[in-house]
Amino acid sequence: MTLCTLREVLDHARAGGYGVGAFNVTDIEQVEAVLDAAASTSSPVIVQTIAGASAFASDELYWDLLLRTVDHYPQVPVVVHLDHGPDAETCKRAIDAGFSSVMIDGSLDPVTHQPTSFEANVAVTKEVVAYARERGVSVEAELGTIGGSKDGATHAEIVLADPDEAARFVAETDVDALAVAIGTSHGAYKFTSPPDGTVLRMDLIETIAGLIPDTHLVMHGSSSLPADLREIINAHGGGLPESWGVPEDEKARSTKLGVTKINQGMDSHMAYAAAMRVALAADPLAADPAPAAKAGRAAMSAMVAERMAVFGQAGRADYTPTPLRETAALSLA
Ligand code: 13P
């Protein structure tokens, strides 16, 4: 069993001066793609998923299968993390299911999708931290509002994180990790031209890291949106708009400024979807989706392995993590 906490994996990353990719997954083939990449590159890894994002009828069934898949990879430290938990109840469900880390996103109201007050964000985050601590589970929170679509339904405007608020927020909530809005956005539409320092505020990372040195910083919306994958998707029936993401060298640079967790969903999904579209188009008689999914899994795994080298986590699974069950027993003692 290699399931361990976000805190432990990110502490190791900070000590080693590297970043860890947190890869969004929405089906079990994608879980396998990420874990295969971790095993082949000897990388500690974070597998993350948003509640309701899979095609399974219930989160509980999907999450159970996801956690069981991790058992097949004893050679690498794995964090199973809930991405963008919209409320305390969803975070508690993921913790009860066996996740070793959850994100409570108290920056947006779960119903109106409007930014919440600082006080409301602190209150819901504290509730989740109290529940998670008793069970040895790590917690990430969000300050400021990262733009774009988290679940295909919301399109919040970007509100940059305020460094003084970040320090106050951490003092009040004691979270393990903080997602700071620095100009990135989620999804397949990010920047209208290659981003410079006025839109991608890397300086904020450095300032905030200096104020909260014991808290891990998370860069959301880190996909690069590779143009070659967009062209393949669009040549096979897709209609993705031209857009620029976060350049690879900026992601690598962020790990030197204070980021330890780098969130990526769209790039992996583009790799998976492009390969599936090509496979389906190549066989007009295809009815069984498995061969196309197999091509998608292989393409996604190759892309994730490449990113692991960029983030610096490749070759760093050289330690024995504390299994979550032991961490939880220590917290309850
Ligand atoms: P992308 O949408 O850029 O892949 O980012 C994913 C993410 O930040 C999930 O929280």
- Which protein residue's CA is at the shortest distance from atom 1 of ligand 1? 221
Does residue 186 register a pLDDT over 90?
no
**DSSP state at residue 289:** S
Q: Which atom of ligand 1 is nearest to the CA of 219?
A: 8
User: Which of 241, 120, 251 has its CA nearest to residue 182?
Assistant: 251
Q: What is the CB < 6 Å shell around ligand 1?
A: 24, 83-84, 186-187, 220-223, 263-267
Q: Which of 191, 219, 223, 267 to mutate to test the pocket of ligand 1 (most atoms within 8 A of CB)?
A: 223
Q: Which atom of ligand 1 is nearest to the CA of 83?
A: 10
Neighbours of 213 (CB within 10 A): 8
Mean pLDDT of 235-243: 95
Neighbours of 208 (CB within 10 A): 27
- Which protein residue's CA is at the shortest distance from atom 5 of ligand 1? 221
Does residue 313 register a pLDDT over 70?
yes
Please give the annotated binding residues for Zn(2+), written as ranges. Answer: 84, 105, 142, 186, 220
- CA atoms within 13 A of residue 222's CA, in its CB half-sphere: 30
Identify the band that residue 331 occupies on the pLDDT scale cut at 50, 70 and 90.
Answer: low
Alpha carbons 50 and 226: distance in angstroms, whole number: 23
Q: Work out the end-to-end distance of the chain between its first and last CA atoms, rounded to an integer number of angstroms.
A: 21
Query: What angle do the packed helices 118-133 and 88-97 form, to 10 degrees?
Result: 20
Q: Which atom of ligand 1 is nearest to the CA of 184?
A: 3
**DSSP state at residue 55:** S
Selecting among 59, 83, 87, 176, the annotated active-site residue is 83
Mean pLDDT of the chain: 92
Alpha helix segments (H runs only) across the chain:
6-16, 28-41, 59-70, 88-97, 118-133, 163-173, 202-211, 227-235, 248-257, 266-282, 290-311, 324-332
Identify the band that residue 153 occupies on the pLDDT scale cut at 50, 70 and 90.
Answer: very low
Q: Three-state SS for 269?
A: helix
- Which protein residue's CA is at the shortest distance from atom 3 of ligand 1? 221
Please give the domain boundaries of the chain with CATH numbers for all domains: 6-224+240-265+307-326 (3.20.20.70)
Q: Which tokens sit at 307?
A: 């990113």
pLDDT, one tens digit per residue, over 50-80 is: 999 999 999 999 999 999 999 999 999 999 9
pLDDT of residue 156: 56
User: Which of 197, 152, 175, 171 has its CA nearest to residue 101?
Assistant: 175
DSSP letters for 129-161: HHHHHTTT-EEEEEESB-EE-SSSS--BPPBPP
pLDDT of residue 146: 73
Rounded alpha-carbon distances, angstroms, from residue 152 to 100, 149, 176: 25, 5, 27
* C-alpha 267 to ligand 1 mean position (Å): 9
Please give the annotated binding residues, written as ranges. Answer: 84, 105, 142, 186, 220
* C-alpha 196 to ligand 1 mean position (Å): 19
Residues ≥6 apart with Cβ < 8 Å to 307:
21, 23, 264, 267
Mean pLDDT of 301-310: 98
* C-alpha 83 to ligand 1 mean position (Å): 9
Alpha carbons 158 and 186: distance in angstroms, whole number: 10
Q: Which atom of ligand 1 is nearest to the CA of 146?
A: 8
Q: Does residue 83 carry a catalytic annotation?
A: yes
Whether 317 and 43 have beta carbons less than 8 Å apart is answered as: yes
Q: Three-state SS for 328?
A: helix
Q: Which of 259, 266, 268, 272 to mutate to test the pocket of ligand 1 (most atoms within 8 A of CB)?
A: 266
Please name every residue paired with 102 in a beta bridge, in sequence order, or none if there are none: 82, 139
pLDDT, one tens digit per residue, over 320-329 is: 888 886 766 6
* C-alpha 187 to ligand 1 mean position (Å): 6
Q: Three-state SS for 244?
A: strand
